[in-house]
Structure 1
Amino acid sequence: MDKFQAMQAFIRVVESGTVTKAAQTLDLPKTAVSRLIASLEAELGTKLLNRTTRKVSTTADGAEYYERALQLMSHLAEIEGSMSHAKSSPRGRLRVDLPVPLGLSVILPALPAFLERYPDIEFEFGLSDRPVDLIAENVDCVVRAGDVLDQSLVARQIGAVRQILCATPAYWDEHGRPSHPSDLEHGHVVIRTIASRTNRPFPIVVAKEGERVELQNQRGLTTNAVMAGLTLSLAGLGVVHALTFSVATHLRSGELEAVLNEWVSDPIPVFVAYPQNRHLSTRVRVLIDWLAALFASDESTAKSGRGART
């Protein structure tokens, strides 16, 4: 038995809740993971897991062994990370989940610069806006816009994004350009995005000199994807409250025209989050530092930026 691999398998089974999920994240057959756990229990002379057809849970001995094994793995990662070569040339695979707009428009296009500096890091990217179970899915970190509500995660703010009201010039020519947000309440189609957490449209709130207005337009289109809303607006179907970084090129080209620029929304914070019970590896650390520098370099994503220029 490879005791190191068996400990890894045991930790992953406990964290994911099933042997099947653990096997998937370890890229091992389910039978191999079961054998590793059985061998570990035989060597220790105690039962570590209670098994049912749907889920596994730790015994009293298993819970104690999990905590100590987790500490041991963290210490090992810390030792490896303290080596000078590991600090200067981190290597290994990173599983990272990105929100679709930020991933496609900001992070992935800039990735060549990161890989030029850290060529030995390999990536497995997920692109989604859904809540991700980092432990069960064996994800190293996630980037998310908006508050991080999961108390089991450590979150570091790396930037902020802003939004702007825009539509095609042809749309404005047909429906009229508003001089006040309330003008969009009547005779306009407002494209809204459904929030995955609430299954309700994100509110559109803008403010100017202390006056705050929340659009209550009942005539509109809805979608569960931010980029889909942008596509609908580019097709001339309505007004979108778009992320500034995603519409910057369309504004410059004239495909879209922004309105009510003096009416601004509160910035949306962007965080990198990772499990608090895991040692922060050097490769995750350098990725977070690079992301923070990347976001700070652009006004549309910097914490104190002003958004896209039109």
Structure 2
Amino acid sequence: MDRLVSMQAFTRVVDVGSFARAAESLDLPKATLTRLIQNLETHLGVKLLHRTTRRISVTTDGAAYYERCVRILADVEEAEQSLTRHNNSPRGTLCVDTTAGLARMVLIPSLHDFYNAYPELKLELTINGKPIDLLQEGVDVVLRVGALDEAMVARRLGQVKLAFFASPIYLRRFGTPADLTELAQHKAINYLSNRHGREMPWVLSRNGESSEILLPSAISTNDADVYIGCALEGHGIAQISRAMAEPYVQSGRLVEVMSDWQTEELPISAMYPQNRHLSAKVRVFVNWAADLFSRHPHFGVAPQQLAA
């Protein structure tokens, strides 16, 4: 019995909660993975998993063994990398989940540089703005805008600077708001939170005065492209990142309003599970992404902010 292979099979089953998904992620037949777990239990003389037709749960012995296995496998990986990192670049498949906007504006334009630096890495890039279970989904690292997930390790990469925009179509019909009183008479295109599904209020500040408002809207959405599309068609005032709004401002299709008021700056973070060793492929990707964002004209932040 290959002890390390069996440990890897066991930890993957615990991580994803399914023999079928674990076998698929390890590229093993399900029967082979099942046999590995059975042989491991026989070798140890304890039951590691409770299995029914409906669910899989970890026994008390299995939970303790799982924690040890995670550390052992991480140590083995680190030992191997320490011998090869000077001669070989990280290899294998790296699963990254991000938003469409960050992928389109920051990652994709620089992928040639990434592959030149790390030719043995294959990138699986998935687009999902919602919170996900990285272990269940088989994702190595996520890039997110906004609130952090306290269950994961996070590294701040940059920030999104927001402002208020409307189309000339809308402003010709309803006028341009100059202050909060006038803004309250307008309609918004509201953004639905991917965390709780509710419309997100706007936070504005000026000269020490801060206000949180939620304007009425004819439409709300949780998709950034749909959100901007509604703004371009004149359905209301929208709060949009300057990076995404810039080409439409230059073409005259969007106009900034309430420009003397400041709005939120949302953090952009790379996050990965706390109980997982930071592999070389995740490390090089996060470092590469951090460098990209630091040099971006819209998403970069001062070094002291990154350290905060």
Task: Flag whether TM exceeds 0.5 (same fold).
Answer: yes
| Distance in 2 (alpha carbons) for counterparts of 1:224 and 1:40 | 46
| Distance in 1 (alpha carbons) for counterparts of 2:297 and 2:288 | 16
Partner of 2:165: 166
| Distance in 1 (alpha carbons) for counterparts of 2:138 and 2:275 | 13
Compared CA separation, residues 272 and 234, structure 1 to 2 (3 A): same
Q: Deviations over 1:55-99 (max 9, x none)?
A: 222233322322222111100111122235367622111011102
Would the aligned equivalents of 2:4 and 2:73 in 1 still touch at CA under 8 Å?
no
1:162 counterpart SS class? strand
Following superposition, the deviation at residue 261 of structure 1 comes to 1.7
Partner of 1:54: 54
2:137 counterpart SS class? coil
RMSD of the alignment, in Å? 2.0
| Distance in 2 (alpha carbons) for counterparts of 1:110 and 1:206 | 34
Partner of 2:306: none
Compared CA separation, residues 280 and 214, structure 1 to 2 (3 A): same
Q: Does 1:75 align with 2:75?
A: yes
Q: Does 1:231 align with 2:221?
A: no
Q: Which amino acid aligns with 2:239?
A: H
Partner of 2:178: 179
Larger displacement relative to structure 2 (94-103 or 15-24): 15-24
Following superposition, the deviation at residue 181 of structure 1 comes to 3.5
Which runs of 5 or more structure 1 residues have no equivalent in the other structure? 306-310
Where do 1:38-187 residues align within 5 Å?
A: 38-85=38-85, 89-151=89-151, 153-186=152-185
| Distance in 2 (alpha carbons) for counterparts of 1:110 and 1:258 | 29
2:197 counterpart SS class? coil
Partner of 1:34: 34
Partner of 1:308: none
- Number of equivalent positions: 303
Q: Deviations over 1:246-271 (max 9, x none)?
A: 11211122221111222111211111
| Distance in 2 (alpha carbons) for counterparts of 1:149 and 1:65 | 26
| Distance in 2 (alpha carbons) for counterparts of 1:252 and 1:137 | 40
Q: Deviations over 1:198-232 (max 9, x none)?
A: 21111111111112232332233101212210111
1:67 counterpart SS class? helix
Compared CA separation, residues 236 and 301, structure 1 to 2 (3 A): same
Following superposition, the deviation at residue 30 of structure 1 comes to 2.9
Q: Which amino acid aligns with 1:58?
A: V
Would the aligned equivalents of 1:25 and 1:137 in 2 still touch at CA under 8 Å?
no
Moved over 4 A (4+): none
Following superposition, the deviation at residue 157 of structure 1 comes to 0.8
TM-score normalised per structure 2: 0.91
| Distance in 2 (alpha carbons) for counterparts of 1:236 and 1:32 | 58
Which runs of 5 or more structure 2 residues have no equivalent in the other structure? 304-308
| Distance in 1 (alpha carbons) for counterparts of 2:234 and 2:218 | 13
Larger displacement relative to structure 2 (78-87 or 139-148): 78-87
Where do 1:195-234 residues align within 5 Å?
A: 195-234=193-232
| Distance in 2 (alpha carbons) for counterparts of 1:91 and 1:221 | 45
Q: Does 1:23 align with 2:23?
A: yes
| Distance in 2 (alpha carbons) for counterparts of 1:118 and 1:181 | 51
Following superposition, the deviation at residue 20 of structure 1 comes to 2.8
Larger displacement relative to structure 2 (107-116 or 199-208): 107-116
| Distance in 1 (alpha carbons) for counterparts of 2:261 and 2:302 | 17
Partner of 1:192: 190
1:31 counterpart SS class? helix
Q: Which amino acid aligns with 1:30?
A: K
Would the aligned equivalents of 2:141 and 2:270 in 1 still touch at CA under 8 Å?
yes
Would the aligned equivalents of 1:94 and 1:121 in 2 still touch at CA under 8 Å?
yes
Would the aligned equivalents of 2:94 and 2:123 in 1 still touch at CA under 8 Å?
yes
| Distance in 2 (alpha carbons) for counterparts of 1:64 and 1:15 | 14
Would the aligned equivalents of 1:87 and 1:282 in 2 still touch at CA under 8 Å?
no
TM-score normalised per structure 1: 0.90
